[in-house]
């Protein structure tokens, strides 16, 4: 069999989205996944599509997140028709609560720049919060409503991209660990697998999530580090909330299946992926502060995952500055579910030899220099 046009390293949501897009463009695509697809960060994610409730300021990255969000209303029915998978898209919006006096400054500053940028945000007083979400603690001071910040079921979305990629002819190989990227004469020519086999491909896409920087043969260090997040789920039947509700960095995401996802910690502890009493306590106490009813709800599960994070917390997207045929689609940190469809489009197009539709300058692999901080 002839070599594929595109080898994708990593079968998380990003690798599968890239594969689905590249395959739609008529390219022969192989995804190499060392474990099983969609079982790392993409499986752990809460599924919020929250550019505004999470945003730190205006700029090109916020523009990218907002454009990414626009994809979902049309994507959900398209994926259902193409794969039979309902990605659980919900559009009720998000509310960020001020519970403590010290939250006021943070939320007021955010309200100022977001209003100043013409973004969709509304200030709610305590009564207006409780009208919308009666289960919120009556200690709430005020809040911000983001009607456009939505959610999906991240596990189903990952699965849908994999199924879509395969229906379009991509080959997904699980249990295949890539050890090294092979480069000859300034061009990527394939990869070396952990079992010593070589795979050829005209284009190699780095989509290995938090592990991307560990690949051998990269032309320059890729300073990705894992940022651990712990989550839990409780029952919420009948539903406690309609909106995503967050306060002091902890969120409660109501799912249509009767679960409320609660998250998440941000910890820098290397590649250790363990749910700890201390981490879980932070999440559960934060949730109980949002609503005493959450504190009483039946706990149904807990899990964790590793966000792929760069020093500036921006993704790495696009072509290597020196090596032809080497593309990056990694480092999506807290936004990989939101950014998956647009990443698929951008990198799929580049794999087909097209110019990216957006300026990927801020996300270049060369921006860290030759001697960046190492990952932990």
- Beta strand 187-193 with 94-98 is unpaired
Residues contacting 314, CB < 8 A, separation 6+? 61, 331, 333, 362, 363
* Positions 243 through 302 that interact with ligand FAD (CB under 6 A): 263-264
- Binding residue for ligand FAD, selected from 337, 347, 350, 365, defined by CB under 6 A: 337
By C-beta, is 46 or 245 nearer to ligand FAD?
46
Nearer to ligand FAD, 83 or 330 (CB): 330
Stretch that binds ligand FAD, among 31-39, 78-86, 117-125, 271-279 (CB under 6 A): 31-39
Q: Of 77-85, 130-138, 166-174, 201-209, which segment contacts ligand FAD by CB under 6 A?
A: 201-209
H/E element, 154? helix 154-167
Measuring CA to CA, how many Å separate 111 from each of 107, 114, 123?
A: 6, 5, 8
Instruction: Say whether residue 341 binds ligand FAD (CB under 6 A).
Output: no
Q: State which of residues 7, 8, 22, 41 lies at the interface with ligand FAD (CB under 6 A).
A: 41
Among 15, 190, 213, 254, binds ligand FAD (CB under 6 A): 15
Say if CB 16 and CB 337 are below 8 A apart: no
Tell me: does residue 330 bind ligand FAD (CB under 6 A). yes
By CB under 6 A, is residue 325 in contact with ligand FAD?
no
The token duo for 133 is 């979400």
Among 5, 21, 40, 267, binds ligand FAD (CB under 6 A): 40
Told to check if 32 binds ligand FAD by CB under 6 A, we report: yes
DSSP string over 6-54: EEEE--SHHHHHHHHHHHHTT--EEEEESS-TT-SHHHH---EE-TTTT
**What's the min distance (Å) between Cβ of 143 and ligand FAD?**
19
> Does residue 42 belong to the site contacting ligand FAD (CB under 6 A)?
yes
Shortest CB 231 distance to ligand FAD, Å: 5
The angle formed by the CA atoms of residues 103, 313 and 153, to the nearest 5 degrees, is 75
- The residue written with tokens 């028709």 in the block is 81
Is residue 9 near ligand FAD by the rule CB under 6 A? yes
Bridge partners (DSSP) of residue 144 are 96, 123
Phi and psi (nearest 5°) for 191? -140, 160
Residues lying near ligand FAD in the complex (CB under 6 A) are found at: 9-15, 32-35, 39-42, 44-48, 177-178, 207-211, 215, 229, 231, 263-264, 305-308, 330, 332-338
């Amino acid at each position: 069999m002839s070599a594929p046009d595109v080898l994708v390293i990593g079968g998380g949501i990003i690798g599968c989205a890239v594969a689905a897009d590249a395959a739609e463009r008529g390219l022969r695509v192989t995804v190499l996944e060392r474990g099983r697809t969609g079982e790392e960060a993409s499986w752990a994610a809460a599924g919020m599509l929250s550019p505004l409730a999470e945003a730190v300021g205006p700029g090109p990255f916020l523009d990218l997140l907002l454009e990414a969000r626009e994809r979902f209303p049309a994507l959900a029915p398209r994926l259902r028709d193409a794969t039979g998978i309902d990605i659980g898209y919900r559009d009720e919006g998000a509310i960020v609560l001020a519970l403590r006096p010290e939250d006021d400054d943070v939320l007021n500053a955010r309200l100022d720049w977001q209003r100043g940028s013409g973004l969709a945000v509304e200030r709610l007083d305590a009564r207006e919060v409780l009208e919308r979400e009666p289960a919120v603690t009556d200690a709430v001071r005020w809040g911000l409503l983001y009607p456009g910040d939505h959610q999906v079921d991240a596990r189903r979305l990952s699965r849908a991209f994999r199924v879509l990629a395969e229906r379009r002819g991509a080959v997904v190989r699980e249990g295949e660990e890539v050890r090294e990227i092979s480069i000859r004469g300034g061009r990527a020519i394939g990869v070396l697998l952990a079992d010593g086999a070589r795979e050829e491909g005209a284009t190699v896409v780095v989509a290995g999530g938090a592990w991307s920087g560990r690949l051998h043969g990269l032309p320059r260090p890729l300073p990705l580090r894992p940022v651990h997040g712990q989550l839990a789920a409780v029952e919420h039947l009948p539903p406690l909330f309609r909106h995503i509700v967050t306060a002091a960095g902890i969120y409660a995401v109501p799912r249509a299946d009767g679960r409320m996802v609660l998250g998440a910690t941000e910890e820098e502890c290397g590649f250790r992926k363990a749910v700890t009493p201390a981490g879980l306590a932070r999440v559960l106490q934060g949730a109980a502060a949002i609503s005493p009813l959450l504190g009483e709800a039946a706990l149904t599960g807990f899990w964790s995952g590793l966000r792929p994070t760069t020093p500036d917390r921006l993704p790495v997207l696009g072509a290597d500055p020196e090596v032809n045929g080497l593309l990056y689609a990694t480092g999506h940190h807290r936004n990989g579910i939101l950014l998956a469809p647009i990443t698929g489009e951008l990198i799929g197009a580049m794999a087909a030899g097209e110019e990216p539709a957006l300026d990927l300058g801020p996300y270049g692999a060369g921006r860290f220099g030759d001697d960046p901080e190492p990952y932990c």
